[in-house]
Structure formats: structure tokens, C-alpha cells
Amino acid sequence: MLHFRVSTVLKEFFQTTLKRPLSGSRQKTWLPTRHCSSGAVSVDARAVCSRLTALHVAVHRPALRTASRAVPFRSYCTKPEGAVELDEQLRKDGVASEAPSDKRRNAGILPSLEDLLFYTVAEGQEKIPAHKFLTALKATGLRTGDPRLKECMEILKETLKNTSDGVTLDRHQFKKCVQSNIVLLTQAFRKKFVIPDFQSFTSHIDELYENAKNLSGGQVADYIPQLAKFSPDLWAVSLCTVDGQRHTVGDTKVPFCLQSCVKPLKYAVAVHDHGTEYVHSFIGKEPSGLRFNKLFLNEEDKPHNPMVNAGAIVCTSLIKVKAVILFSPCVANIFLLCVMGVSCFLFGRFQSERESGDRNFAIGYYLKEKKCFPEGTDMTSVLDFYFQLCSIEVTCESASVMAATLANGGICPITGERVLSPEAVRNTLSLMHSCGMYDFSGQFAFHVGLPAKSGVAGGILLVVPNVMGIMCWSPPLDKLGNSVRGIQFCTDLVELFNFHNYDNLRHFAKKHDPRREGGDQRVKSVINLLFAAYTGDVSALRRFALSSVDMEQRDYDSRTALHVAAAEGHTEVVRFLLEACKVNPVPRDRWGNTPMDEAVQFGHHDVVTILQHYHDNYSPPPASAADNNKSAEKSLDSLL
């Protein structure tokens, strides 16, 4: 079980004072370490892991963070220095005045964010059932176990223990629970996350999952005994957005080895630690066009890229340049704890990987003979570390957070901590796009157009930059070593959503864009439709009809465009809606009025004649409960 803490910087950034000391923040240096060419520079593996641990482990192990840590004072200020000094002097004298908005808020005239959130969830009630709040929270994509909401959930549990019924919260109790995380919660309930309508999006994901689940074929990798034990029926998909929205479906709790899916992470750490120039003095950037485990180098006697075995082994040596540590499981554990926040290394998996690694030993000796390693590298220890990293176990859920960290520019979305530098992430995604899917990389880049990395355990690490990370896992592999179900899921995903790198985000027709707020689009559609009917703009109505707009959409009073056109006496609009669009001629608004009633009331006799003709020839289909529900949903959509 992982334990996280909310970023101190985020918590203190939203303080109400103008001068905010970030007392809990840490000074971090992201400048890469450049290594001189004169003489090899040896870096102890413990030192590397310690540096990474200082960056990230503290987030996942709260006990390591102590209040006594001395940090330089930093301040964020919106006033000139003189104004700040004067303001502080006024506070000391006790004559500092509150801002007008603060006065009104304190007087109860302006509602606070906590009050607005309460009214949103309560829907007119004086108390909120706790389960209703938690259900609404989960609908946004956040989880009650989210480390950013830890304080909120702890206060909620304590508050419920002290309530009379142990179930409901009044306004003051609710405010007490949410005030520590009000910014995050407000963003969630206002649908300001990257995927606003998360429930609709995940329903599509579940459909894609079921479609891929029906696939058969492929073979489970058996050249590593530990991999051959997995059932071919296992299938899981997990996603995490850059805002920390999470969704899982399938066998997401079953652990599996990362295998080659760890290669992008190793490369990112190497670039983060040493810089791009130094890393690529040992490794190339081009696709090889050959099998991932070929004993082959480019014309400069360097591995083609970090995503093939030769490049990954050299990359491992850059993380652990001088092998002063013999085999120890803690090395791999610290590595993954630093970067992913998870740690599960099994000695049995490592042994199985090492005993079946003759090809990798051959590659290692070939690299040593070609002097591809930094000077003084112990090749055997590097291979041991390489096997350890390939043998690390994860679940789909934890691996999706790793993918989301890459999607988020190196910042872990569920902790807010920077794990990798932007330069390292950018270079990693570029190489994943061109070289990440073995011999299928070109086809995958053409059809899917997203950075991804596959592994022989059946995993596919997929990154939608600036949106989300996805981990797919199913053991059966195709002839190129990629998961059969995973490839199908990724292909279907890009066919449904405009996630392809070269999809046009402005002029798309058939694909969905989950990044757009559906509610706003529906409201704008209704407004434009009814305004065109009000002004008698038949040309605009024709454009809407050609764009497959629902011409029977209703406003908050359940009035349609036909109601508005009949009330205004626009005969051409009425005729167009009835003849060309085949709309229902007898819809009723919230007061039970039809378009005929509107035309009669306002004395538009030509409209009455047209409507009367359609009334006489119209036979409504038998109403069913499903139709009534659909009509109600249409009205609710307009409201939302």
C-alpha cells in the first residue's frame, strides 16, 4: 500500500497572504551534469539512487520528511517591496484593513468556495449524505485514496464519528472537511480537469476493452519460465490523466514484470541525470530496422537507440557507471521507488531472467569488445542491474501513473512532485514514438500516432501527451512480440478519439474530443438553434441540419425551435423544420403548450394553417418508458 503526501508548495501557494513563505518547499536543481571527455567519471550507484531518492522518495514515504529541515526562505509577492513593508507595518500597528471582497465574504454576503461546493452537492438540502459526496467525487475521476485528498478523507472520517447519525454532514461540518483541499475539489466539480465528462469517457473505454477482450490468438512468451505461467485470458487496462483522474477495468490487480516497458524509464533517468549530449555520445537515436535483440551496431559502433536491448544495456551502465555494488535487490527497489513510487522486486523473477539471458550476455560482451561502455564499467554487474530492472513487478494501476508522469512533462499527477526533467521526458517520448514497438514501430506510429513501449510480458505503455497515460496488459503476443489485445485497444482508441498526434483538433467530424466540455457545447448548440429560429434565419438552420445537429433540442422550459418559430410567425422556418427536418409537430413544453398553441395565441394564421396540416397527418409512435427517459435526458442535457 502506497502512502503519499500533497505537495507542500501547492498547499501553501493558495494561502491568502500576499507574501507566502514556502517553508516546506525544497530547492531542486534540474541542470544536467555534464561529463568531460578527458577521463571517465565514475558515479557510484548508491549516489545515483540517493539523488533520485531525494527527488521523489520523500513523497511516498512521509516519515522521511521532517519539519526540522532547513530551507532558504522564499516568497511570492504581488506588491512592490515598499508596499509590502508598509503593509507589514500596518499589520503590526493593528490598522491593516481588509479587502472589500473579504469583508463581504466574512459578513456572509459573498459565499466561499466551500459554501458553493456544498450547495452544488446538496441540491437544496440542508445536509449532505457522506456517500452522496463520495459518489459525486468518484464521478469526477478522483479516488478517495488519492494522496492529495488524504487530509480531507481523514477529517471526514473523524467528523462522521462525531455526528448524530454518522452518515450526514451539515454545511459547517462539510466546510471543515473540504477546506484543506478546496482548490482541487472545486476544479473537479466544476469540470475543469483535462477530461471534463469523465464518466462518459470511461464508458467508451469500457466498450473498447470489451471489444478487445473477444480477440483470440497470439502466444504467451515461454522463453522465460516465469512468463510462461500467465493465463492467456488475462486482460487489463488502466489509465491516469495528468490531473490524477483514474480508471481501471479488467485484471488490473494482477502483478506482472515490466520487461522492456522499463526501457523508456531508464533512458529518461539517464538523460535527467547526465543530459542529452552525454547520453547520446554512447547511444544513437535512429530506429534499427532489426529485431530488438540483434547483435548489431550502427556505423559509429553505437547501439541504434535506447529501446533495443543493446541500447538499454548501455543506458543501464550510464545509470550505474561504476559497478561497486554487487547484486542487491535494494538497488532495483530504490530505482523504482524513486521514479514510480512503487517497489516490488522478486528474486525468483530475476533468477529466471538471468538464467535465460544468454543472448543479452552475448550482446554485453559484444558491446564491451566495441568499447561502448563508459571506461571502468563492470559489464557483468551492469547486466545484473539490467535483469533486475526488467524483473520489477507492477500492476496496471501503478504503471499507468508512470505513463501519466511522462504525459505530464515529468511531474507525477497524483503527488505534484517533479520526477523527471522536461528535456528527459521530451526525448523519451520522441524515441518511444519512433522506436518503442519493436519491428511494428513504423506501423504503430502511422496508425496510432502516439508514443508507446511494449514488453514481452504483454504490457503496452501508451502516452497521450498532456492528457493521460495508459497501461494495457495481456500476455498473448503476436509474431512481433506485441500484445494482441493491447494493439487492438490502442488502434480502436485513436479511431474513436482524436488522440493521434496529427489529428486536427479544430475541424474534426467523426472523432470525439474528450478534452472538450460536453455540457458547454450542448448549451451553445441549443442557444444557437433557438436564436436562429427566433430571427427566422433559415440559412443557419440549414447549416445546423447539415451538421447533424438535433433539431428537436429543448431549452430549460422544454421549448423547441418549432415553438419559437411558431410564436414569432416565421412560416419559412416552420415549413423547413416540418418538411426538411421532419421534427415532431406536437411537442409540449413545460406548461403543456404545443407550437400550434403558440401560433394561435399570437395570431399567426399562416403558421396555424401549416401546423394544422401536419397535425392532421401526424400519427405519433406509441410512447414507451425508454422514449420518455430519452426525452427527459435531452432536456437535462440542455440544462447541464
Residue 410's CATH number: 3.40.710.10
Decide if pLDDT at 566 tops 60: yes
Which of 137, 157, 189 is the last residue in one of the domains? 189
The H or E element that residue 99 is part of is none
Domain range for residue 339? 205-496
In the predicted structure, residue 40 carries a pLDDT above the cut 60: no
Please say if the pLDDT value at position 92 is more than 60.
no
Q: C-alpha 393: how far from its chain's center?
A: 22
* Domain-ending residue, one of 93, 124, 149: 93
Q: Is residue 530 part of a domain?
A: yes
The reported pLDDT for the residue numbered 127 is: 87
Q: Check whether 252 has a pLDDT greater than 50.
A: yes
Q: From CA 54, how far away is CA 69, in angstroms rounded? A: 13
Q: What is the pLDDT of residue 639?
A: 36
Total number of residues shown for the chain = 640
- 208 neighbors 249 (Cβ within 8 angstroms): no
CATH of the domain at 594: 1.25.40.20
Q: How far apart are CA 331 and CA 325, in angstroms?
A: 9
**Does the pLDDT at position 408 exceed 90?**
yes
Q: What's the average model confidence in pLDDT over 354-360?
A: 76
**Does one domain contain both 126 and 243?**
no
Q: Which residue has the higher pLDDT, 93 or 212?
A: 212
pLDDT at 505: 72
Number of domain units in the chain: 4
Task: Please state the separation of Cα 179 from the chain's center in Å.
Answer: 25
- Cell 565514475 identifies what position? 42
pLDDT band at 12 (very low <50, low <70, confident <90, very high): very low
CA distance 552 to 561: 7
Are 465 and 407 in contact by the 8 Å Cβ rule? The answer is yes
326 shares a domain with 301: yes
Give the pLDDT of residue 495. 93
Torsion of CA 590, 594, 598, 601, to 10 degrees: -100
Encode pLDDT of 492-540 as tens digits: 999 999 999 888 777 666 788 898 765 556 677 888 999 999 999 998 8
Average pLDDT for residues 567-593, to the nearest whole number? 92
DSSP string of 46-58? HHHHHHHHHHHHH
Directed axis angle between helix 571-579 and helix 605-617, to 10°? 10
The pLDDT confidence band at residue 352, using thresholds 50, 70 and 90, is low
Residue predicted with more confidence, 30 or 230: 230
Give 219-245 pLDDT, tens digit per residue. Answer: 998 877 778 889 999 999 999 999 999
pLDDT band at 347 (very low <50, low <70, confident <90, very high): low
Rg of the Cα atoms in the chain: 30
Cell 501503478: give the residue. Answer: 398
DSSP, res 497: B
* Per-residue pLDDT, 80: 37
Residues 143 and 413: beta-carbon distance below 8 Å: no
Q: Does residue 507 lie in a domain region?
A: no
Residue 371 is assigned to a structural domain of this protein: yes
pTM, whole model, 2 decimals?
Answer: 0.66
- Using the CB atoms, write b or e for 255-268: b if 16+ within 10 Å: ebbbbbbbbbbbbb
User: In the listed set 135, 157, 189, which residue is the last one of a domain according to the structure?
Assistant: 189
Outline where 436-483 has alpha helix (H).
Answer: 441-447
The answer to whether residue 277 is domain-embedded is yes
Domain membership of residue 430 (yes or no) is: yes
**What one-character-per-residue DSSP string does 503-546 give?**
--SSS-SSSB-TTS-HHHHHHHHHHHHHHHHHHT-HHHHHHHHH
Q: Give the relative orientation of helices 625-639 and 518-535 as an angle to the nearest 10 degrees.
A: 90
pLDDT at 118 over 70: yes
Q: Which CATH number covers residue 161?
A: 1.10.238.210
Q: Are 256 and 393 in contact (CB under 8 A)?
A: yes
Please indicate, yes or no, if residue 196 is contained in any of the structural domains: no
pLDDT the model gives residue 509: 62
609 and 524 in one domain?
yes
Domain assignment present for residue 290? The answer is yes
Q: Are residues 433 and 529 in the same domain?
A: no
CA distance 133 to 138: 9
pLDDT higher than threshold 70 for residue 136: yes
Q: Are residues 151 and 12 in the same domain?
A: no
Average pLDDT score, the chain:
77
Residue 461: strand pairing partners: 453, 471
Helix (H, G, I), strand (E, B) or coil at 169: strand
Note whether 213 and 286 are same-domain residues: yes
| Whether the predicted pLDDT of 284 surpasses 70 | yes
Same domain? 476 vs 537: no
**pLDDT level of residue 346 (50, 70, 90 thresholds):** low
Q: How confident is the model at residue 62 (pLDDT cuts 50, 70, 90)?
A: very low
The share of the chain scoring above pLDDT 70, in percent, equals 72
Query: Rounded distance, CA 151 to CA 168, Å?
Result: 19
For residues 281 and 328, membership in a common domain is answered with: yes
Confidence at residue 58, expressed as pLDDT on a 0 to 100 scale:
39
Residues 489 and 532 occupy one common structural domain: no
Distances from the Cα of 139 to the Cα of 136, 143, 246, angstroms: 5, 9, 10
For the chain, the distance separating the N- and C-terminal CA atoms, rounded to the nearest angstrom, is: 38
In sequence order, which residues have a C-beta less than 8 Å from that of residue 110 and are 6 or more positions away? 101, 104
pLDDT score recorded for residue 616:
79
Same domain, 133 and 237: no
pLDDT at 626 over 70: no
Q: Are 313 and 325 in contact (CB under 8 A)?
A: no
Asked if pLDDT for residue 78 goes beyond 90, the answer is no
Split at pLDDT 50, 70, 90, the class of 621 is low
pLDDT digits (tens, 9 = 90+) for 443-457: 999 999 999 999 999
Residues 382 and 482 in one domain: yes
Judged by average pLDDT, the poorest of 100-109, 152-161, 272-281, 289-298 is 100-109
Closest CA to 270 of 386, 99, 144: 386
What's the pLDDT band for 54 if we cut at 50, 70, 90? very low
In a domain, 102, yes or no: no
Same domain, 571 and 619: yes
pLDDT of residue 298: 84
pLDDT for the residue 102 = 52
pLDDT score recorded for residue 503: 85
